[in-house]
Amino acid sequence: MSQQRQGLAGYDGSGEGDVITDFTVGTDKIDVDALLTSIGLSTTTLGAYIDVLVVGPDSWIILDNNDDTGLINRLDDEVLAVVQNVTTLSASDFLF
């Protein structure tokens, strides 16, 4: 993980995820179903294992391994992807 991302969000640094440069809100979809299934998790909405953190002009898609969004326990969280120049991701932009 780059020092900028690591210092800004405080994640554990084991990977910085993919970078999505051409996402169109309301048209494109981010499919997280297969990933969640492969690690024995499931959800139907944001905030339960999949979180979005807006950092500057970008949105970071976070795998929240323990579904502890409100606890700010980021040591177990992983950045799955950074969606550049998008700050308005919602549940409708994902396939769960």
- pLDDT tens by residue, 18-52: 999 999 999 999 999 999 999 898 888 888 889 99
Q: What is the dihedral of CA 41, 60, 89, 71, to 10 degrees?
A: 60
Query: Whose CA is closest to 82, among 37, 27, 24, 16?
Result: 16
What average pLDDT does range 1-29 have in this prediction?
67
Q: Which helix (H) or strand (E) holds 9?
A: helix 3-9
Give the per-residue pLDDT at 68: 66
Average pLDDT, the chain: 81
Give the per-residue pLDDT at 73: 57
Statement: residue 11 has pLDDT above 80:
no
Q: Are 96 and 32 in contact (CB under 8 A)?
A: yes
Share of the chain above pLDDT 70, in %: 75
Statement: residue 3 has pLDDT above 50:
no
Q: Are 58 and 84 in contact (CB under 8 A)?
A: yes
Q: Are 45 and 96 in contact (CB under 8 A)?
A: yes
- Pick 76 or 27 by higher pLDDT: 27
| Per-state percent for the chain, helix, strand, coil, to nearest 5 | 25, 25, 50
